[in-house]
């Protein structure tokens, strides 16, 4: 099945890049994860390694391990990897946002030269209140969290806004390279991320085409395994690699079972929600809370989707 699925997507990439977009090559941003590695493998199979340009654009919060995984992905398809550190650009864009001072209001001992921080989803409190609740955690840079605090909503927005800048910077650089090379930018978002709003508007949602946008995470893993993505990347625990503190995706966004969240965002009413959560072992007393969380996820996704559609295999590149 993976072979047939891969062949269909490879043909589609060829058609979309060459016939629809009239570009001669592709640009892929690597993160060190399974999604971008799978897109890279598909792109190379479709266009040849000489026509695919892989980039890794770390900043000061990026894990050192991610570069190694990105290099491994590029080497596995015989594609050179271009690395460009964007720390200076990111830091200059955040002047005046006062992130360090904000964190110090919660943790007076926070030292930006020594400590890292992350914003984490709190599923227990979110389920109790029926709205997404996030906590701020600090610890040694690229280490484990040692202290946490619940944030005010305006402080959450400030931190998210400052972090989203780096995704937009990366996409701007990708398009700079693509325009110079007469290429198309390939997005690496999967269906879970798009459906749940786990993308940055005008950032990782701004590519030309999305070869895996109709696949959930498990399907991406199956596809990647079938087309030769290195086992080390497939087995790597998914991480956001967004904050300077170690943070798996489960702590940031997928605070509940991924399959559960996907079913909930497709639920039509509270009766559907009740049936879904019962199958996952939650009581009827949590229906209202899950309904509130589902609506919050849908609102986030709707905001992200308001600008464009996500062209993927089987879906036209033109807007609806």
Q: pLDDT tens digits for 292-307? A: 888 887 788 777 765 5
Q: Residue 1: which pLDDT band, with cuts at 50, 70 and 90?
A: very low
Q: pLDDT tens digits for 19-64? A: 999 999 999 999 999 999 999 999 999 999 999 999 999 998 888 8
| Residues in Cβ contact with 200 at an 8 Å cutoff, skipping those fewer than 6 apart | 164, 167, 168, 304
Q: Residue 320: which pLDDT band, with cuts at 50, 70 and 90?
A: very low
DSSP H helices in the chain? 2-14, 34-47, 64-76, 87-93, 99-106, 123-129, 153-181, 191-195, 217-226, 231-234, 249-252, 258-265, 270-279, 287-305
| Residues in Cβ contact with 175 at an 8 Å cutoff, skipping those fewer than 6 apart | 185
pLDDT for residue 257: 79
The CA distance from 156 to 14, in Å, is 41
Q: Which of 20-24, 196-200, 235-239, 264-268 has the lowest mean pLDDT?
A: 264-268
Q: What is the CA radius of gyration of the chain?
A: 20
The superfamily (CATH) of domain 1-91+166-235 is: HUPs (3.40.50.620)
Average pLDDT of the chain is: 88
pLDDT for residue 144: 85
Mean pLDDT of 219-245: 90
Taking the model in full, what pTM does it have? Answer: 0.87
pLDDT over 70 for what percent of the chain?
92
pLDDT over 90 for what percent of the chain?
56
Alpha carbons within 13 A on the beta-carbon side of 267: 26
pLDDT for residue 182: 99
Which residue in 131, 125, 114 sits closest to 149, CA to CA?
125
So where are the chain's domains? 1-91+166-235, 256-307
| Residues in Cβ contact with 180 at an 8 Å cutoff, skipping those fewer than 6 apart | none
Residue 54: strand pairing partners: 28, 81
């Amino acid at each position: 099945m993976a072979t047939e699925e891969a062949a269909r997507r490879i043909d589609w990439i060829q058609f979309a890049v060459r016939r629809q977009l009239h570009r001669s090559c592709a640009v892929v941003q690597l993160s060190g994860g399974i999604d971008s590695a799978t897109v890279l493998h598909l792109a190379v199979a479709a266009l040849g390694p000489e026509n695919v340009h892989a980039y890794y654009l770390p900043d000061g919060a990026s894990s050192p391990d991610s570069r190694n995984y990105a290099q491994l992905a590029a080497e596995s398809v015989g594609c050179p990897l271009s690395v460009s550190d964007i720390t200076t650009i990111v830091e200059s864009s955040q002047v005046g946002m006062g992130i360090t001072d904000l964190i110090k209001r919660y943790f007076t001992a926070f030292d930006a030269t020594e400590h890292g921080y992350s914003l984490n989803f709190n599923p227990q409190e979110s389920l109790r209140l029926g709205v997404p609740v996030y906590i701020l955690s600090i610890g040694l840079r690229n280490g484990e969290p040692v202290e946490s605090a619940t944030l005010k909503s305006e402080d959450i927005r400030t931190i998210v806004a400052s972090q989203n800048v780096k995704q937009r910077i990366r996409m701007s650089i990708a398009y700079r390279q693509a325009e110079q090379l007469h290429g198309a930018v390939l997005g690496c978002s999967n269906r879970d991320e798009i459906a749940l709003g786990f993308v940055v508007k005008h950032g990782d949602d701004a590519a030309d085409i999305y070869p895996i946008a109709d696949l959930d995470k498990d399907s991406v893993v199956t596809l990647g395994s079938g087309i030769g993505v290195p086992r080390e990347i497939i087995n790597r625990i998914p991480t956001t690699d967004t904050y300077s503190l170690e943070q798996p995706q489960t702590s940031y966004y997928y605070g509940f079972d991924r399959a559960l969240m996907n079913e909930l965002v497709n639920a039509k009413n509270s009766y559907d929600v009740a049936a879904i959560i019962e199958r996952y072992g939650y009581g009827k007393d949590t229906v209202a809370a899950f309904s509130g969380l589902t609506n919050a996820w849908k609102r986030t996704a709707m905001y992200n989707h308001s600008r464009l559609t996500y062209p993927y295999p089987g879906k036209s590149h033109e807007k609806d």
